[in-house]
Amino acid sequence: MSELRDLYQEVILDHNKRPRNFGALEPADRRAIGHNPLCGDKLTVYVRLDGTRVADVRFEGQGCAISKASASMMTEMVKGLSRDDIAALFESFHHLVTAPDAGDEGDHLGKLTVFAGVREYPTRVKCATLSWHTLRAALEDEAPQPVTTE
Amino acid sequence: MNAINSTVRLQFDVDRLRAEFPILRQQIHGRPLVYLDNANTTQKPRAVLEALNHYYLESNANIHRANHLLSERATQAYEGAREKVRRFINARDVEEVIFTRGCTEAINLVAQSFARPRLREDDEILLTHLEHHSNIVPWQIVCEATGARLRVAPISDRGELDLEQLVALMQERTRLVAIAHVSNALGTVLPVGEIVREAHARGIPVLVDGAQAAPHLPVDVQALDCDFYAFSGHKLYGPTGVGALYGKRALLDAMPPYQGGGSMIASVSFEKTTYNTVPYRFEAGTPNIAGVVGFGAAVDFLISCDLDAVRVHEHELLGRATQQLAEIPDLRIIGEAHEKCGVVSFVYDDVHPHDVGTVLDQEGVAVRAGQHCAQPVMDRYGVPATVRASFALYNTAEDVDALVRAVWRVRDLFGA
């Protein structure tokens, strides 16, 4: 059970139960759909832009605790950030959940470090990154195609 | 009934059977492996592993195309497996058994070689709502090519097919009925014999997707009178990458080839090629010879286990699991058909099945959490996915208890 607590940290369980910034954003400048056919996770990310910065971001959809908490915490982290800041943050986050030697990005990632436990569960990496891939699609493309992590 | 059960139980020695499956002896995350993902694929008994080994160590050569001794041995082993499979499903002729890559390829073969040339615009193929994607998508592909349409018979909240509604959909333009024998997502056993009778009374041929049935139920294709029966080897203790299609001889004889290549021809010139007879016409190229040999060994193994006893044993496991899981608050069993086989699917409160799967894995319990290649079934029940525990002859009552204990752990962790 203790190994599982490393994956399912209290913060993650809390964001799963009470996701922040959950629900559609109307009106939104950008919108993208992400889908993980392996487990059926599906979410939509909505973005309102202020120049190249994310003025507001929300998400809706269904998913496992990891994907929902990751989406929820992502929306909290990226508000006010520029596209480049977000790309750098995603890169660090991806490293955190995949690289065996990760662990020193603490300052940069802030509370996203609670997802470090995911790296012990390779099948769950896609859950943790689905919302990030979807946000990236929303930011990169004015009429994004649905992204899939398969 | 009790008296019969206890007699059978005396003959069925699950510990002895488990000893034939070396993989089951290991620990997962420090706990004994409890393998309950058998509807996905089963583990392989020593007899199958030895057959594969023996084939490669003693007999490996290409079949049907060389006159040396090894080729003769390989050919005999391959054709011997065909006869074993014929006997297993009680086909009349050994030529009615075609080896494929699996159940999926068997269905695709029928879709392309049987259905496609016959289908005209507005013709219909009739399915049920509980089909696996591999008994949906091949038909959609031929429908797209021909302008034919799919019709889908509904299922009830319990996961049962309403035979009357299915029969009502058998119309003038219905060219084929394609149904599962057992639902992989719900465990429902379909009344295949009755469905075939009703369809034949209207002149409609029937394909049965037997992937989930063949490991658990007696399959007698002559008694069922179905026109095609598709199943895979790896779900009945054989190797992956091999399956079989049974087809009635007269239908197979009239079907054009599925793929072109070696073995499937009688003679080839650039002007004209004539095709080989069945089953070879449908087995282009060098097949999965070792896989077929292993498939034959798996069939032998399964028959040697006393199929009636296996059925009683697996039914008891399913009953025990269903009863104990139903006692867990906020757990909902998906699929409560009167007649079920091998599978219990469930969702637990608002905990996502993927999370349940991870907790169970940590407890050593292997299940499948997902959509089970049956998205229409998930949509029917309004769930994103389910957790599915599925049983095989080597599972024990203790396995069921470990599953149930692990589900209680989910409750501890997620505080439902």
Q: Tell me the DSSP string of B313-333.
A: HHHHHHHHHHHHHHTSTTEEE
Looking at CA atoms only, how far is residue B217 from chain A in angstroms? Answer: 29
Verify that B208 and B129 share a domain, yes or no.
yes
Selected for mutation to probe chain B from A10, A13, A39 (highest B CB count within 10 Å) is A39
Q: Which of B303, B338, B361 is the last residue of a domain?
A: B303
CB–CB contact A4 B351 (8 Å) = no
| Closest chain B residue by Cα to residue A3 | B362
Number of C-beta neighbours around residue B147 at 10 A: 11
Selected for mutation to probe chain B from A12, A14, A22, A64 (highest B CB count within 10 Å) is A64
Is it true that the peptide bond before B279 is cis, omega within 30 degrees of 0? yes
Looking at beta carbons, which pairs linking B111-114 to residues 24 or more positions away fall under 8 Å? B111/B138, B111/B139, B111/B141, B111/B142, B112/B138, B112/B142, B112/B258, B113/B255, B113/B256, B113/B257, B113/B258, B113/B282, B114/B176, B114/B205, B114/B228, B114/B247, B114/B251, B114/B255
Nearest CB to B409 within list A1, A40, A124 = A1
Q: Which value does ipTM take for this structure?
A: 0.88
Contact B363, B402 (CB under 8 A): yes
Asked if the structure places residue B44 within a domain, the reply is no
Looking at CA atoms only, how far is residue A39 from chain B in angstroms? Answer: 5
CB–CB contact B354 A127 (8 Å) = yes
Per-run averaged pLDDT (10 residues), chain B, 416 residues: 47 89 96 98 98 97 90 96 98 98 98 98 98 98 98 98 97 98 98 98 98 97 98 98 98 96 89 93 96 98 93 97 96 97 96 95 96 92 95 98 96 82
Verify that B332 and B289 share a domain, yes or no.
no
Is it true that the peptide bond before A27 is cis, omega within 30 degrees of 0? yes
Q: Quick one: which of B41, B389, B37 has its CA closest to B238?
A: B41
Distance CA B65, CA B69 (A): 11
Distance CA B256, CA B137 (A): 21
> CATH no. for residue B385?
3.90.1150.10
User: Residue A50 pairs with which residues in a beta bridge?
Assistant: A53
E strand segments, B173-319: 174-180, 206-209, 228-232, 243-247, 265-268, 273-275
- Find chain A residues with C-beta within 8 A of B372's C-beta: none
| Three-class SS state of A22 | strand
Verify that B291 and B370 share a domain, yes or no.
no
| Closest chain B residue by Cα to residue A43 | B384
Contact A11, A114 (CB under 8 A): yes
- Predicted confidence at residue B262, as pLDDT, reads 87
Nearest CB to B384 within list A1, A62, A127 = A62
Distance CA B94, CA B278 (A): 10
From the number of C-beta atoms within 10 Å of its C-beta (0-12, 13-18, 19+), residue B304 rates as exposed
Which residues make Cβ contacts (< 8 Å) with residue B43, sequence separation at least 6? B21, B23, B24, B35, B237, B392, B394
Verify that B190 and B272 share a domain, yes or no.
yes
Indicate if the pLDDT at residue A40 is higher than 80: no
Nearest CB to A39 within list B351, B362, B385 = B385
Contact B301, B237 (CB under 8 A): yes
Distance CA B186, CA B160 (A): 9
- Chain A residues within 8 Å of chain B (Cβ atoms): 1, 3-5, 7-8, 13, 37-42, 62-66, 68, 121, 124, 127
Distance CA B403, CA B366 (A): 9
CB–CB contact A42 B351 (8 Å) = no
Contact A7, A128 (CB under 8 A): no
Task: Give the amino acid at B278.
Answer: V
Looking at CA atoms only, how far is residue B377 from chain A in angstroms? Answer: 13
Nearest CB to A13 within list B29, B354, B414 = B414
CB–CB contact A39 B352 (8 Å) = yes
> CATH no. for residue A37?
3.90.1010.10
Q: What is the mean pLDDT of residues A2-30?
A: 92
Quote the number of domains for chain B: 2
CB–CB contact B354 A39 (8 Å) = yes
Quote the number of domains for chain A: 1
- Tell me if residue B373 is catalytic: yes
CA atoms within 13 A on the CB side of B39: 30
The CA-based angle B230-B82-B42, given to 5 degrees, is 55
Range of the domain at A79: 2-147
> CATH no. for residue B228?
3.40.640.10
Q: Which of B303, B323, B339 is the last residue of a domain?
A: B303
- Predicted confidence at residue B1, as pLDDT, reads 41
Task: Give the amino acid at B339.
Answer: E
Range of the domain at B198: 49-303
Verify that B284 and B161 share a domain, yes or no.
yes
| Closest chain B residue by Cα to residue A66 | B355
CB–CB contact A40 B378 (8 Å) = yes
Looking at CA atoms only, how far is residue B167 from chain A in angstroms? Answer: 33
- Predicted confidence at residue B297, as pLDDT, reads 98
Nearest CB to A121 within list B358, B378, B414 = B358
- Predicted confidence at residue A74, as pLDDT, reads 97
| Closest chain B residue by Cα to residue A39 | B370
Verify that B258 and B165 share a domain, yes or no.
yes
Verify that B153 and B280 share a domain, yes or no.
yes
Verify that B248 and B374 share a domain, yes or no.
no
- Predicted confidence at residue A143, as pLDDT, reads 67
CB–CB contact A3 B355 (8 Å) = no
CB–CB contact B354 A1 (8 Å) = no
- Predicted confidence at residue A147, as pLDDT, reads 74
Contact B207, B110 (CB under 8 A): yes
| Closest chain A residue by Cα to residue B354 | A64
CB–CB contact B371 A40 (8 Å) = yes
CB–CB contact A39 B414 (8 Å) = no
Contact B329, B408 (CB under 8 A): no
For tokens 């006869």, the residue is B83
- pLDDT 10s digits, A92-116: 999 999 987 755 555 678 899 999 9
Looking at CA atoms only, how far is residue A40 from chain B in angstroms? Answer: 6
Q: Quick one: which of B256, B217, B260 has its CA closest to B236?
A: B217
CB–CB contact B355 A1 (8 Å) = no
Selected for mutation to probe chain A from B334, B354, B356, B375 (highest A CB count within 10 Å) is B354
- Find chain A residues with C-beta within 8 A of B358's C-beta: 4, 7, 121, 124
Asked if the structure places residue B37 within a domain, the reply is no
The CA–CA distances, whole Å, from B300 to A142, B37, B52 equal 60, 22, 14
- Predicted confidence at residue B3, as pLDDT, reads 45
Looking at CA atoms only, how far is residue B81 from chain A in angstroms? Answer: 35
CB-defined contacts A:B, below 8 A: 56
Verify that B208 and B290 share a domain, yes or no.
yes
CB–CB contact B362 A124 (8 Å) = no
| Closest chain A residue by Cα to residue B355 | A64
Asked if the structure places residue B265 within a domain, the reply is yes
Verify that B74 and B123 share a domain, yes or no.
yes
Q: Which of B248, B278, B303 is the last residue of a domain?
A: B303
Verify that B252 and B327 share a domain, yes or no.
no
- Give DSSP secondary structure letters for B75-115: HHHHHHHHHHHHHHHT-S-GGGEEEESSHHHHHHHIIIIII
Nearest CB to B413 within list A4, A62, A64 = A4
- Predicted confidence at residue B49, as pLDDT, reads 98
Verify that B169 and B265 share a domain, yes or no.
yes
